[in-house]
């Protein structure tokens, strides 16, 4: 499952396919004998930067989410969730694997000490992203009406979908630049732009919603979409300006790197095809949820409210403390790639094992805190008893969700992204079958059970694969030696 609300990450920005710690605890992950291609201090610094920016964004987004729920209600949040599910699929087509491809390709060039190849790789990736971003925007804009009427089954989604289509080329182009900053170790610049984008997005949504008639869910969702699209444009202009100033470091002329277009397509194309399948299935699953709830006896707005409570109220709290793991899952990709290119297999196994152990301890702590504080949190933030109940239930799933984030990032860093996508596709197939068959009979209780099954199933496959490509020692008999 995947959360697709105003404060949700775009495709490929997270290391997890899910529905949706003190920093000092990680200082011992990269101890002596366990360094990757950069120093321990650099990776800790980059993780701290991403964590800090993520905390700022999530605090702002959570406050905004509370205001948004009070402004358009749970039903409005649920309706925007359906719009977000479709736009997530469109963004997947727009990106088509290019963020990870740019990160991996640039990491390879830097790991092989071919700095001159970085500029060539960037030009190829930007051209690729422009083609797919423009094509995706045209398809969504022209097909918004049949998608809204026939696929989503709600005419109120047509206008928001057309507005969101305008942002797709900018999302795609920005993905390449963010991949460049991640691979080159200058995450601070991308992090600052993301915080600015969040502030701009919220400000524009507030302004546009002020112009929408109260109680009009269509106009309200269109206003949120307009704010998001305008924010993506502003974000791209800022990140592109920063990129133009930064790229001089790798802009020198040099001998062409071998087979760059073929290498880029070899990474992006299989990832894109599997992402299409997975995102299409995940979107279909999300769209089937309100249908199943209506068959179970809910009204149309009641189904949207139940769906919106779980996806729009509970999951933002569930994911709020995960910023450290999200940062690590993204930063570990270029580090593991560089170590793999250099053939440091033993080092990779030690680092991955230590990372997973610390992640497990942190996720267990967060799950326990969310379980104990579920009711006070829900009353304080949302004034919703239902949100408190569901938060307490999903607290048991926190360790699985968080560990899956890190495991997925490790797999991508080791070039195992196709296995990860294959697991996601299989997970989504099971999800569609379960949603179609169980929701009409078990309503929201069945939906919760499906989320638990999918997360456990996906994580089990991911950790199995990671244990096959590394000598994973999650519980070493003699403890870590670093």
Q: What is the pLDDT of residues 428-479, one digit of tens each?
A: 888 889 988 988 888 888 889 999 999 999 999 999 998 888 887 776 655 4
Long-range contact set of residues 61-65: C-beta below 8 Å, sequence gap at least 24: 61/6, 61/7, 61/198, 61/202, 61/316, 62/7, 62/316, 62/317, 62/320, 62/381, 64/6, 64/7, 64/202, 64/205, 65/5, 65/6, 65/7, 65/312, 65/313, 65/316
Q: How confident is the model at residue 146 (pLDDT cuts 50, 70, 90)?
A: very high
pLDDT for res 123: 87
The pair of structure tokens assigned to 178 is: 């963010």
pLDDT for res 256: 62
Q: How far apart are CA 312 and CA 315, in angstroms?
A: 6
Domain boundaries, the chain: 23-469
Residue 277 has pLDDT above 80, yes or no: yes
Average pLDDT, the chain: 79
Q: How far apart are CA 395 and CA 151, in angstroms?
A: 33
pLDDT for res 14: 39
Which range has highest mean pLDDT (163-172, 190-199, 331-340, 467-476)? Answer: 163-172
pLDDT for res 343: 75
Least confident of 63-77, 79-93, 111-125, 406-420: 111-125
When pLDDT is averaged across residues 177-197 and rounded to a whole number, the result is 80
Cβ-Cβ contacts under 8 Å for 21 (sequence gap 6 or more):
321, 324, 358, 361, 362, 365, 366
Q: What is the percentage of the chain residues whose pLDDT exceeds 90? A: 24
Q: Are 123 and 180 in contact (CB under 8 A)?
A: no
Which range has highest mean pLDDT (64-68, 198-202, 269-273)? Answer: 198-202
Considering only residues 85 and 396, tell me which one the structure prediction assigns the higher pLDDT.
396
351 backbone dihedrals φ, ψ, rounded to 5°: -70, -45
Q: How far apart are CA 158 and CA 151, in angstroms?
A: 11
């Amino acid at each position: 499952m995947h959360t697709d609300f105003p404060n949700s990450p775009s495709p490929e920005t997270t290391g997890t396919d899910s529905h949706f710690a003190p920093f000092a605890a990680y200082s011992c992950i990269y101890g002596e004998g366990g360094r990757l291609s950069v120093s321990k201090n650099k990776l800790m610094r980059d993780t701290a930067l991403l964590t800090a920016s993520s905390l700022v964004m999530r605090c702002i987004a959570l406050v905004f989410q509370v205001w948004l729920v009070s402004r358009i209600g749970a039903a409005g949040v649920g309706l925007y969730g359906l719009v977000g599910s479709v736009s997530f699929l469109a963004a997947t087509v727009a990106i088509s694997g290019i963020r990870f491809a740019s990160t991996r390709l640039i990491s390879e060039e830097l790991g092989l000490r071919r700095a001159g190849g970085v500029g060539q790789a960037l030009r190829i990736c930007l051209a690729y992203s422009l083609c797919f971003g423009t094509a995706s925007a045209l398809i969504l804009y022209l097909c918004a009406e049949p998608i809204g009427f026939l696929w989503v089954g709600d005419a109120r989604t047509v206008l928001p979908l057309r507005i969101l289509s305008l942002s797709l080329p900018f999302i795609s182009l920005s993905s390449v630049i963010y991949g460049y900053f991640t691979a080159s170790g200058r995450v601070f610049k991308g992090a600052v732009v993301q915080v600015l984008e969040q502030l701009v997005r919220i400000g524009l949504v507030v302004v546009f919603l002020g112009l929408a008639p109260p109680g009009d869910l269509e106009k309200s969702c269109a206003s949120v979409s307009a704010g998001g699209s305008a924010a993506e444009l502003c974000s791209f202009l800022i990140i592109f300006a920063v990129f133009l100033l930064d790229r001089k470091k790798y802009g020198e002329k040099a001998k062409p790197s071998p087979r760059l277009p073929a290498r880029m397509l070899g990474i992006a194309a299989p990832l894109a095809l599997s992402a299409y399948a997975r995102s299409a299935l995940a979107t279909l699953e999300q769209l089937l949820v309100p249908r199943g709830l209506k068959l179970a006896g809910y009204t149309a707005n009641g189904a949207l409210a139940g769906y919106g409570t779980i996806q729009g109220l509970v999951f933002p709290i569930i994911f709020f403390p995960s910023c450290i793991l999200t940062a690590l899952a993204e930063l570990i990709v270029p580090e593991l790639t560089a170590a793999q290119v250099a053939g440091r297999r033993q080092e990779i196994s030690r680092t991955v094992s230590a990372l997973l152990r610390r992640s497990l301890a942190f996720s267990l702590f967060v799950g326990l805190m969310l379980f104990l504080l579920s009711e006070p949190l829900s009353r304080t933030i949302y004034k919703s008893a239902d949100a408190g109940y569901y938060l307490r239930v999903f607290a048991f799933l926190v360790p699985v969700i968080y560990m899956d984030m890190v495991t997925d990032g490790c797999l991508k860093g080791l070039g195992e992204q196709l296995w990860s996508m294959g697991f996601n596709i299989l997970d989504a197939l099971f999800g569609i079958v379960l949603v179609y068959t169980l929701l009409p009979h078990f309503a929201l209780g069945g939906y919760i059970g499906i989320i638990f099954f999918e997360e456990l199933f996906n994580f089990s496959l991911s950790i199995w694969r990671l244990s096959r490509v590394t000598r994973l020692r999650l519980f070493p008999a003699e403890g870590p030696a670093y």
